[in-house]
A and B are shown apart, each in its own frame.
Chain A
Amino acid sequence: MGYTITEKILGRTTQSGKPVRAGSEIEVKPDYVLGYDFPGYLDLIFQQMKNEFGIKKVIEPERFAIFIDHMVPANTPEEEDLHIVTRNWCAENKVRLHEREGIGHQVAAEAGYAVPGGFVVHFDGHVSQLGAFGTLAIGIHTQLLEAFVRERITFTVPETTRVNLTGILPPGVMARDVFHHLVRVLGPRSCRFQVLELGGFALKGLSLEGLQTITGLAMFTGALTAICNPDQRAIKYAQERCHLNMNPVSSDSDATYAAIHNVDLSNLAPLVVVPPNPAGTAELTEYTGLDVQSGYLGSCASGRLEDLRAAANVLRGRRVAPGFQLHIVPTSQAIMASAAKEGLLTTLIEAGAFVTSSSCDYCYGRIATMTKGQRAVSTGTLNVKGRMGSPESEIFLCNAAAVAASAVEGKIADPRKYLKAINT
């Protein structure tokens, strides 16, 4: 029997370097260990290293990369103090620090940590989006500490659920809708403790950015992470950026899967995820006309060029409804620069959008905070209670074009009537 891409990648990182089977508990050496500073996360790991383990510096600092993407810019002295701790630690440890370059999971791809065939750990599960490039990237939560104090970490090889996507997305339907549709058809516990492996002809019709969106949200199927067998686009993207020389790997045709699903995308329509549950997928048309006061286009899940283009297509020559707050936050500074060169930012700003440099802070309500009774449409990661402010505010997740259409009307709106062809 053959091996899955996950079994091959994890096997390579063992001492023997041989492929492993799902269910085995093994010692693996991550190619990269990533994290961002946030109170109780990296600062705690730094303290634990020193105080509980007597370790002053990480070994092989080139395997580590740290991001300052939350609390950017700082708005209290304590937040800036935390950033200073992180900057100092990185300097002392000779670890690369990416500050103010954008949301770390996107910057990780841009900076070359998304190596096809590579194994990456982080505490945050949205790092799964490196799976778009054939990288096995897993959020291991507080257990990331092990990667800071040992060369290897103990890890149980997960089973894999394979999803074959077929069909071409209709206009106005985006990668986000594909993911939310997967949660709808597979269920929020379909891939618990497993890897979600995406395949099928439809992948060719999705951009790498779209695959980042889908893989980045994998946790809401219960999955540890998601991964695609890297195609030529992913390999080319990685080769232009990566510092590690590694052979890309793919699943064997006779690999063993926990389940295989075929999902056709041909008849998909724009979706919303109804609060307060990330599995509350519904047809957007069921909610059109619902008053909405705020819109957020950004996050590690969305906010890339194709999202900005989709919003610009809707907003070109139109205006955001009076009183509506539309926040557009490109996922990285590099994306923002590209959007500026394309003229997208001008279109968005002229339409009345509030466009800002990249930061994680809109996604969890640190800024642009909603109060009781307000409602947002959002391309953020989550719609749980209180995520973007008051527990009595609401978040409807949807695609970037739907956020833009809703901004024009001040109500949840179907983007298809504003678009000629979003996917061309």
Chain B
Amino acid sequence: MSLPSLHGRVAYIFCEADFDVDQIVGVENIRLTNPDELADCAMQRFDPHFAEQVKDGDIIVGAENFGYGHPHFAPMIGLRHLGIRAIVAESFATGYWREEIAEGFPQIACPGIISCVERWDVVEVDWNTKELNNLTRGTSLPITPYTNSELGMLQAGGLVPYLQKKI
């Protein structure tokens, strides 16, 4: 069983290394749990028109050590509710990565991605060749393979269904 295909536009690029994802919804909103409310506040300080432009299947691109600091679940709940289906970054912060993979949310480590995409480029992830293809520019980059348990969590849709299958 492979992962669901990923094909979408680069809806935003966070160029800042060690990016604190809580900024996506704002620290004042990190205790919210309602996806509608989180979608409303997501990305406001980066692009107030983000919600109007984003489409289901789009992805977000990040730089090195994406998710550093003390990340909460709220930002990604908001982004998923807006249709974001994956985060692709140069590399990820350890804790953020574990949390979001356990949520069943694809996080894709793709060294070189920042200099190979522009906002709104169309990209797809080929899980078989383990490559990210930039369809707008006709370029490809290798992605870092998952461990078996990471793959299992993403395939199952999160930690709980993954463990249910395992037991």
Contacts and interface: CB of A to CB of B under 8 A. Distances in A.
Contact of A189 (B26, B93, B148, B167): B93
Contact of B147 (A25, A139, A146, A387): A25
A118 interface: no
B159 interface: yes
Contact of A142 (B93, B102, B148, B149): B102
A18 B68 CA distance: 34
B22 interface: yes
Contacts of A53: 163-164, 167
Interface residues of A, number: 34
Given A143-B102, A149-B167, A222 B147 contact: no
Interface stretch (A86-94, A271-279, A312-320, A325-333): A271-279
Nearest to A148: B163
A391 interface: yes
Size bin of chain B's contact surface: 20 to 34
Nearest to B20: A384
Interface string B67-93: 011100000000000000000000111
B98 interface: yes
A154 interface: yes
Contacts of B69: 277-278, 382, 384
Interface in A137-177: 139-143, 145-146, 149-150, 154, 156
B135 interface: no
B28 A125 contact: no
Contacts of A140: 98
Contacts of A387: 70
Nearest to A125: B95
B40 interface: no
Given A150-B163, A385-B27, A387-B70, A188 B99 contact: no
A223 B94 CA distance: 7
Given A278-B69, A384-B69, A391-B28, A149 B163 contact: yes
Contacts of A78: none
A188 B164 CA distance: 35
A145 B148 contact: no
Count chain A CB atoms within 10 A of each CB in B17, B69, B148, B167 and give the residue with the most: B69
B27 A391 contact: yes
Given A53-B167, A189-B18, A189-B68, A386 B27 contact: yes
B98 A145 contact: no
A189 B28 CA distance: 26
Nearest to B102: A142
A156 B152 CA distance: 14
A219 interface: yes
A277 B163 CA distance: 35
Interface string B48-75: 0000000000000000110011100000
A279 B163 contact: no
A386 B97 CA distance: 22
A336 B115 CA distance: 53
Nearest to A24: B147
B82 to A, nearest CB: 22
Contacts of A125: 95
Contacts of A48: 160
Contacts of B17: 189
Contacts of A385: 22, 27
Contact of B160 (A139, A145, A192, A219): A145
Interface string B147-167: 111000000000110011011
Contacts of A277: 18, 20, 69
B161 to A, nearest CB: 9
Contacts of B99: 141-142
A222 B65 contact: yes
B64 A25 contact: no
Interface string A44-61: 000010001100000000
A156 B147 contact: yes
Interface in A34-51: 48
Contacts of A156: 147, 149
B27 A384 contact: yes
A237 interface: no
Contacts of A192: 65, 91-94
B163 A189 contact: no
A193 interface: yes
Contact of A25 (B27, B93, B148): B148
The 8 closest A-B pairs by CB, nearest first: A386-B27, A189-B65, A391-B27, A154-B149, A385-B27, A142-B102, A141-B98, A141-B99
Given A143-B98, A279-B68, 6 more contacts: A142-B99, A156-B147, A192-B91, A277-B20, A384-B27, A386-B30
Interface of A: 25, 48, 52-53, 125, 139-143, 145-146, 149-150, 154, 156, 188-189, 192-193, 219, 222-224, 276-279, 382, 384-387, 391
8 contacts: A53-B164, A143-B98, A146-B159, A150-B166, A188-B65, A189-B91, A224-B94, A384-B69
